[in-house]
């Protein structure tokens, strides 16, 4: 995958490039034909320092109109699932593999993913979370670099370098399928359990000197 150079932040370590710099580089993106049909670019939403990044597929109609990810029916489901994990929406960072809506919500195309995903990579590098939750096949394929389907992958954590990755069904798939709903609820309960068992490292004391070592 093409690596992006963020102007002014070329030699920064993970977590040191602000999301605003990634957004600035995306600009009024015309890198693929989805720019012709979109209303708004849907960059991402939530806590820029979150421990959990949620990656969806692509904006739908409501997201395209508002510029905010997961505000439609799937978004309501996502909010309820986050609650099971003990999280509020503003405590996580939510983004998508594609930043523009594919017409009629068709599947993302490989060439669209190739153009857009370097920005997702930089968003994740910027937030530098502990956990990435992949909603559905497209997010899972990109993050875990696998062709394996979500049905066989979901239900457990995977480790890739720094990240703990939890693939789950896409919440939209559960709107009409109660069995997927039960799996999603179990997987978000697992997320809550993981977070409880792995508390965030305490922030360094002012001046970077750990308390007790002055």
| Whole-number Cα distances in Å, 196 to 49, 136, 189 | 18, 24, 11
| C-beta of 100 vs 191, nearer to ligand URA | 100
Q: Are 94 and 46 in contact (CB under 8 A)?
A: yes
CA atoms within 13 A on the CB side of 105: 11
| C-beta of 138 vs 163, nearer to ligand URA | 138
| C-beta of 96 vs 123, nearer to ligand URA | 96
Q: How far is the CB of 105 from ligand URA (least distance, A)?
A: 8
| C-beta of 58 vs 143, nearer to ligand URA | 58
Binding site for ligand URA (CB under 6 A): 56-60, 63, 69-70, 74, 96, 172
| C-beta of 70 vs 163, nearer to ligand URA | 70
| Closest C-alpha to 69, from 157, 171, 188 | 171
Q: How far is the CB of 45 from ligand URA (least distance, A)?
A: 9
CA distance 129 to 150: 22
Q: How far is the CB of 21 from ligand URA (least distance, A)?
A: 22
Q: How far is the CB of 78 from ligand URA (least distance, A)?
A: 8
Looking at residue 16, what DSSP letter applies? -
- Alpha helix (H) residue ranges in 9-144: 19-26, 61-66, 73-84, 110-127, 136-144
CA distance 146 to 153: 10
Q: How far is the CB of 150 from ligand URA (least distance, A)?
A: 13
């Amino acid at each position: 995958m093409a690596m992006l150079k963020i102007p002014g932040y070329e030699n920064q370590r993970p977590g040191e490039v602000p999301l605003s710099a990634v957004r600035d580089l995306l600009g009024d993106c015309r890198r693929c034909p989805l720019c012709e049909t979109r209303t708004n670019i849907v960059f991402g939403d939530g806590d820029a320092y979150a421990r959990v990044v949620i990656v969806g597929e692509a904006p739908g109609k409501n997201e395209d109109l508002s510029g905010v990810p997961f505000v439609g029916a799937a978004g309501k489901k996502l909010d309820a699932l986050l609650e099971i994990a003990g999280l509020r929406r503003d405590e996580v960072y939510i983004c998508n593999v594609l930043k523009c809506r594919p017409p009629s919500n068709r599947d993302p195309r490989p060439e669209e993913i190739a153009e857009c995903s370097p920005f997702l990579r930089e968003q994740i590098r910027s937030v530098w979370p502990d956990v990435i939750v992949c909603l559905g096949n497209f997010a899972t394929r990109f993050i875990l670099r696998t062709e394996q389907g979500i049905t066989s992958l979901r239900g457990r954590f995977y480790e890739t370098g720094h990240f703990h990755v939890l693939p789950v069904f896409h919440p939209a798939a559960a709107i009409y399928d109660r069995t997927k709903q039960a799996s999603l609820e179990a997987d978000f309960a697992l997320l809550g359990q993981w977070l409880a068992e792995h508390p965030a490292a305490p922030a360094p004391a002012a001046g970077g000197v750990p308390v007790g070592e002055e």
